[in-house]
Structure 1
Amino acid sequence: MSAEKRELPLAVEAAAVPPRTKPSNYPEPFYSRMLKREKRALGDQFGLKNFGVNLTRLRPGGESALLHRHSKQDEFVYIIEGQPTLITDVGEIELTPGMCAGFPAAGVAHQLVNRTDRDVVYLEIGDRSPGDTGTYPADDIEARLGADGRWLFTRKDGTPY
């Protein structure tokens, strides 16, 4: 492909990528829990379709997501700065810069929480498997990835939000 036909960049400064304008796709009462989270969709800058990469910042008291697991999606996080707590349905562990964690599809439910007084910055990587669903053991919510790539949320009894 010639340089004049390429519209996507070859490289970017990650911190210069604008943050997502909407902090979460969750409906209330869960949306407001994500207000201390800022994601920069790095993979989208390059037109990546098979997986996503986010540079995420959690301010003190912030959560990466609700405690969740995916049916088909694998996820991976790499801590750049700060000390988040990795919460799972089998225990907790404090993470430090340079540590990473991976979550195979249908594995343990997980989330990161910033219990410190300093920001946490990490990379999160996940695939975009069609037909994925999300389950949330601690909250009355379920998610299904629609054909358009958007998450559809219901209560556990199936009623929509």
Structure 2
Amino acid sequence: MSDPLRPVAVSAEQLPPRSKPSNYPEPFASRMAGREKRALGDVFGLANFGVNLTRLAPNAVSSLRHAHSRQDEFIYVLQGHPTLHTDHGRTLLGPGDCAGFKAGSGDAHCLRNETEETVVYLEVGDRTPGDQGSYPDDDLRAVMLNGQWAFQHKDGTPYP
């Protein structure tokens, strides 16, 4: 039975962006300046996977370069030409290009907008319990606890 409080369809661009630009603790959160996400899946109450419409201003990044232990991720570029940074190097993407990141592969990845035009893409990730994130370029690791990310230094010390 459908939920009468949830919409059947929406205009993605008309949804408000997330109020908090990043879940990362400082000094990492401020590095996400210029990134704007609209949580499309949440509008419909999706519980098994999330979908975000993400916009990157010039020189913005999608995230810290990271890999998930249990979460598959997929991106599809709608506008602009982001550069995908992975363990294999840099790959220039454009509209219609997509990339996927299998859980547990260890291939750390992020998108960077190294152009003067706005980049827009869809990102899809599952919400598998017990997921962990590793960040090879930063003193950070993440553990999914009760649906929320808990961030720690690589030595296990929690961030405040």
TM-score > 0.5 by shorter chain:
yes
1:123 matched to which residue of 2? 122
SS in 2 for 1:28: coil
C-alpha RMSD of the superposition: 0.9
1:88 matched to which residue of 2? 86
Q: CA deviation at 1:159?
A: 0.7
Please list, as runs of the form range in 1=range in 2, the aligned pairs for 1:58-97 lying within 5 A after superposition: 58-97=56-95
Identity among equivalent positions (%) equals: 62
Match of 2:50 among 49, 52, 61: 52
Please list, as runs of the form range in 1=range in 2, the aligned pairs for 1:2-151 lying within 5 A after superposition: 6-107=4-105, 108-147=107-146, 149-151=147-149
Measure the CA separation in 2 of the matches of 1:20 and 1:93. Answer: 28
Structure 2, gaps ≥5 residues long: none
| CA deviations over 1:55-98 (Å, ceiling 9, x no partner) | 00000111101000000000000000000000001111000000
SS in 2 for 1:52: strand
SS in 2 for 1:123: strand
TM-score (norm 2): 0.97
TM-score (norm 1): 0.96
SS in 2 for 1:144: strand
Measure the CA separation in 2 of the matches of 1:112 and 1:135. Answer: 16
Give the AA of the match of 1:114: N
Measure the CA separation in 2 of the matches of 1:127 and 1:115. Answer: 28
Measure the CA separation in 1 of the matches of 2:11 and 2:145. Answer: 31
Measure the CA separation in 2 of the matches of 1:33 and 1:12. Answer: 30
What stretches of structure 1 move > 4 A for 4+ residues in a row? none
Give the AA of the match of 1:120: V
Measure the CA separation in 2 of the matches of 1:63 and 1:106. Answer: 22
Q: State the aligned residue count.
A: 158
Measure the CA separation in 2 of the matches of 1:58 and 1:33. Answer: 12
Give the AA of the match of 2:108: A
| CA deviations over 1:1-46 (Å, ceiling 9, x no partner) | 37xx611000000101110000000001100011110000000000
| CA deviations over 1:128-147 (Å, ceiling 9, x no partner) | 00000000000000000011
